[in-house]
Amino acid sequence: MLLTISTTYQPATDLGYLLHKNPARLQSLEVAGGQAHIFYPEATAERCTAALLLDLDPISLVRGRAGASGEGFALEQYVNDRPYVASSFLSAALSKAFGTAMNGTCKDKPDLPAQVLPLAIKVAVVSAPGPDWPRRLFEPLGYEVEIETTPLDPTVPEWGDSPYYTLHLRHAGLRLQDVLTHLYVLLPVLDNDKHYYIGEYEAEKLLHRGGDWLPQHPERGFITRRYLRYLAAYVNPTLERLMQGEDRSVDSASPRMEDGESGSVETVQPQVAEPNDAMRGLAESTLQPKLSLHDQRLQQVAHEIYQLSPKRVLDLGCGEGKLLRLLLRQPKIEYILGMDVSHQALARAASRLHLDEMPPRQRTRLDLIQGSLLYRDERLAGFDAAALVEVIEHLDPNRLAALEAVVFGQARPAHVFVTTPNADYNQLFEKLNAGEFRHDDHRFEWSRAEFAAWATAVAERHRYQVRLVGMGEEVAGVGAPSQMAVFNLEQS
């Protein structure tokens, strides 16, 4: 798909400064789903045109796709309009290629972004559900809108026009920043296809990019609904916030986490999409950098532990020692004990943490021991906090009473953090069939209600207070991917 932006502002080549792209050079960059090429078909003092050619790779789209096999005809996943139609992929490419311009900054000519310019934009092609849609969206913003239709087949006139249009927009005077922002928000609204979003983050982008103009737009309700079309729960709150003029920065709201190291506990990566949809279409979310659920979980646990300023911390079922590493970074923790039943896991932990080469002072802060959570163990007494991250679901349910007796009955740390998958969320994992677990070794996965029932009963039996927390991004109706129970020993 091709987007061009032309101006007759003098000197027209200022467009190059505004876009931070030199008119003399062809530039290419990797974007979600493929490559973007930026070049200038014309660049004179009188008239300058910048072009963004988005070359999506249909194969990579299929690979990144929330599995649509079995739907439509066999080749549909390869032969479809996605590589050619302006969609959220174009928005993502616009923001990557012209992000600086979209934010209204220009290093070389700082006053230029505030300048209004005569601009003409061409987008080939859009697949709006009706030809009046582009007018509804762009005319209230002052654009002249023209739609260029094409016959499906010029030799067979009775077939009529193709449902794909070339869109022409003209504006007598607007800041380039505004045009880019309008396109960024409105092109996915126009797109006919299903489109998935990561969640609240999308609402934040809309607030950020639409904050200035969307509240006055007569179609703001329609735009917000279409933009967030699979996130019904966000629509009204987002509209309310828009009307109140709230604009939170996207960057600060971004839920990005560092990607984890290999060997993550989960075998299935989350495809965060909408719960009730048949998961067709391309998931934008799958093209975003993957958010490692497990790392997010570990960071959250480490953070919660840190808030309590404990001196002695247990990591029960410590596995390869990812949490241990985060805990070691907290200097106020004096001593950490990692325990696991698996000798192999402990050996990996020792090597990943470079136990051999640790400076002596640091080395005295950590011990790794082999042991089972099902048997009473004196070594676990006298700790301020204990973590059991994704451990309980590895035990047969009938062994949980033994674990409960060991952790809550005998070791009795002041604070216990237990995390486990939220089974309610599993329907969003594309590769998981109903009733399957996220990992081969999981003996059960609990819904939020089941986990809450267990945690409450344990707390009552052992005089702890318990608080339940969702871990990861909440999705309306199914909750967050993981769940955590935080137990605090009641003061006696």
Which residues of the shown chain bind ligand SAH in the complex (CB under 6 A)? 265, 317-319, 322-323, 340-342, 345, 372-374, 389-391, 394-395
Closer to ligand SAH by Cβ: residue 115 or 372: 372
CB 336 within 8 A of CB 304: no
CB of 299 to ligand SAH, least distance (A): 11
DSSP state of 357: G
Q: Which amino acid is at 30?
A: E
CB under 8 Å to 42, separation ≥6 — which residues? 6, 48, 49
Q: For the chain, report the end-to-end CA distance as a whole number of angstroms.
A: 68
CB of 423 to ligand SAH, least distance (A): 17
Coil, strand or helix: which one is 385? Answer: strand
CB of 311 to ligand SAH, least distance (A): 21
* Four-residue CA torsion sign, 479, 480, 483, 489: negative
Closer to ligand SAH by Cβ: residue 250 or 341: 341
CB of 47 to ligand SAH, least distance (A): 59
Closer to ligand SAH by Cβ: residue 202 or 340: 340
| C-beta nearest to ligand SAH: residue | 319
CB of 489 to ligand SAH, least distance (A): 22
Closer to ligand SAH by Cβ: residue 342 or 456: 342
Closer to ligand SAH by Cβ: residue 266 or 384: 266
CB 8 within 8 A of CB 172: no
Closer to ligand SAH by Cβ: residue 17 or 417: 417
Closer to ligand SAH by Cβ: residue 166 or 342: 342
CB of 394 to ligand SAH, least distance (A): 4
* Four-residue CA torsion sign, 207, 208, 212, 214: negative
CB of 319 to ligand SAH, least distance (A): 3
CB of 256 to ligand SAH, least distance (A): 20
Q: For 3, phi and psi rounded to 5 degrees?
A: -125, 130
CB of 339 to ligand SAH, least distance (A): 6
CB 262 within 8 A of CB 237: no
Closer to ligand SAH by Cβ: residue 24 or 401: 401
CA 356 and chain centroid, separation: 38
H or E segment to which residue 338 belongs: strand 335-340
* Four-residue CA torsion sign, 92, 122, 22, 39: positive
CA atoms of 227 and 176, how far apart (whole Å): 22
**Residue 244, class by beta-carbon neighbours within 10 Å (0-12 exposed, 13-18 middle, 19+ buried)?**
exposed
Q: Which amino acid is at 248?
A: R
* Four-residue CA torsion sign, 66, 70, 72, 73: positive
Q: How many CA atoms lie within 13 A of 194 on its CB side?
A: 18
CA atoms of 139 and 182, how far apart (whole Å): 12
Closer to ligand SAH by Cβ: residue 231 or 395: 395
CB of 345 to ligand SAH, least distance (A): 4
DSSP alpha helices (H): ranges in 139-292? 176-190, 200-210, 220-227, 232-243, 250-253, 284-287
Ramachandran class of 356: left when φ > 0, alpha when ψ lies in -120 to 50, beta otherwise: alpha
* Four-residue CA torsion sign, 70, 71, 72, 77: negative
CB of 323 to ligand SAH, least distance (A): 6
Token pair belonging to 281: 């279409």
CB 151 within 8 A of CB 159: yes
CB of 265 to ligand SAH, least distance (A): 5
